[in-house]
Amino acid sequence: MKKILYRLLIVFMIISLVSCKSKTSPEQAEGGDMTMNILTPEEEEQGWKLLFDGETLNGWHSFLEDTITGWVVEDGTMKALGMGGDIGGDIVSDDQFENFELCLEWKIAPEGNSGILYLVVEDTAYNAVYETGPEYQLLDDEGFPVPVNEEGEPEPLNDDQFTGSNYGMHPAQNKVLNPAGEWNTARIIINNGHVEHWLNGDKVVEYELWTDEWKELVQAGKWADYPGYGSAKKGHLALQDHGSFVWFRNVKIKEL
């Protein structure tokens, strides 16, 4: 009996400590299981807040708009309808955040491309969320079509354009990714400029914002043409519709 009680205690402690885990299986969630998109009492005590209630898109709006277009709630998920392109399909959080831990689950359609952006500045001086916010890249790594240039020649993606990467800046390392159509867990931590990307329980990216090294890396790449990129100390979260179906659930945040 003591052994059984001890084992039960260990299991309870593990459940209490793990905040970025799904509370049901993907199969249950596909049917709209009502235990999704809720916080445990332990999470509430730790200061976690839901950013998606599982029933509405309250708390989000299309970038530079008052309403939302191109997104729906489907079986307890936030779903992008794939109507966006390079500009125009992204939604941003009503609230802004500075130091935080963000956790969510996501899945993407075959050949899909999306992202989670943070420290986004919503201002008419900018046309898109990626002009200011660093991006946790989401991609069908295996099935995404190889882009071609104007001459029709293939241009394979760079390492920093695959899932988990800080897009265009820092490649994801040592990751384990579930394929398109299956659920993955993303975790983003920002604390006084220190940033971590986690994928399915593993840290895959770590970097420091606003340092000399950061500024040199920005100037050496595609973001050199965007003077507001990665400069904000506080900003909105954004979910990207880049022309693909993508689903999100269990979206929660804890301010640090």
User: What is the SS3 string spanning the chain?
Assistant: CHHHHHHHHHHHHHHHHCCCCCCCCHHHHHCCCCCCCCCCHHHHHHCEEECCCCCCCCCEEECCCCCCCCEEEECCEEEEECCCCCCCCCEEEEEEECCEEEEEEEEECCCCEEEEEEEECCCCCCCCHHHCCCEEEEECCCCCCCCECCCCCECCCCHHHCCCCECCCECCCCCCCCCCCCCEEEEEEEECCEEEEEECCEEEEEEECCCHHHHHHHHHCHHHHCCCCCCCCCEEEEECCCCCEEEEEEEEEEEC
In this prediction, residue 35 carries a pLDDT of: 72
Say yes or no to pLDDT of 28 above 70.
Answer: no
How confident is the model over 186-215, as pLDDT tens digits?
999 999 999 999 999 999 999 999 999 999
In this prediction, residue 19 carries a pLDDT of: 62
pLDDT band at 22 (very low <50, low <70, confident <90, very high): very low
Q: How far is CA 131 from CA 87, 100, 139, 187, 190, in A?
A: 10, 21, 19, 22, 19
- The C-alpha atoms of residue 172 and residue 128 are separated, in whole angstroms, by 24
How confident is the model over 135-168, as pLDDT tens digits?
999 999 999 998 778 777 888 899 999 999 999 9
In this prediction, residue 245 carries a pLDDT of: 96
HSE (CB half, 13 Å, CA atoms) of 37? 21
Say yes or no to pLDDT of 128 above 60.
Answer: yes
In this prediction, residue 12 carries a pLDDT of: 38
In this prediction, residue 26 carries a pLDDT of: 42
pLDDT (average), residues 117-126: 97
In this prediction, residue 68 carries a pLDDT of: 95
pLDDT band at 21 (very low <50, low <70, confident <90, very high): low
Say yes or no to pLDDT of 221 above 80.
Answer: yes
**Residue 133 neighbours by CB under 8 Å, 6+ apart:** 117, 118, 119, 120, 121, 230, 232, 235, 236, 238
pLDDT band at 16 (very low <50, low <70, confident <90, very high): very low
Say yes or no to pLDDT of 227 above 50.
Answer: yes
Say yes or no to pLDDT of 10 above 80.
Answer: no
In this prediction, residue 25 carries a pLDDT of: 40
Enumerate domains of the chain plus CATH numbers.
2-255 (2.60.120.560)
| pTM for the predicted model, two decimal places | 0.88
- The C-alpha atoms of residue 36 and residue 18 are separated, in whole angstroms, by 15
Token pair in block for residue 57: 């898109």
CA 1 to chain centre: 44
Mean pLDDT over all residues of the chain? 89
How confident is the model over 38-73, as pLDDT tens digits?
999 999 999 999 999 999 999 999 999 999 999 999
